[in-house]
Amino acid sequence: MFGTFQQTTLRVEMDASAEVIRDSLLQPRQFQAWLWPQTFSKGLPDVLEQGITFTSYLGPVKVQHQVADVSAWSMRLLLWEGIDGFHEWHWGNEWVQSRIEGVSLLPINLGQSLNLLRLRRFLESQ
């Protein structure tokens, strides 16, 4: 993989319960709304579970995801192609934390910041 090793962790307060945050991260119907303009492979289940593999696209950039672990308070995704590494999500009442480590040509921190802002706006509109 070409690129540089990057690591970033952001924790943001959200005006939402842990259950609402969890659903917005684990239910494709919801995360497809707030992660726009990213698109996702077809045929995703109603809720992400361990072992599921899917693809996201941001323009021509393709990133493969595999759900490595999921619990009531966290999710870990293995990433490859556009980003080779992992993405961890942790959440609780009124907060969410995103941690990404990987090798990529993409500016991971910028994308992570924009996605967390989109998530916050999505939850505020609910």
Condensed to tens digits (0 to 9), the pLDDT of residues 19-40 reads: 999 999 999 999 999 999 999 9
Q: Phi and psi dihedrals of 18, rounded to 5?
A: -60, -40
DSSP assignment of 22-51:
HHHHH-HHHHHHHTTT-EE-S---SS--TT
Domains and CATH numbers, the chain: 4-124 (3.30.530.20)
pLDDT tens, position by position, 69-94: 999 999 999 999 999 999 999 999 99
- Residue 64: pLDDT band with limits 50, 70, 90: very high
Cα torsion at 122, 53, 111, 10 (round to 10°)? 80
Which strand (E) or helix (H) includes residue 96? strand 95-104
| pLDDT over threshold 90, residue 1 | no
Average per-residue pLDDT in the chain?
96
SS3 of 21, please?
helix
pLDDT of residue 126: 86
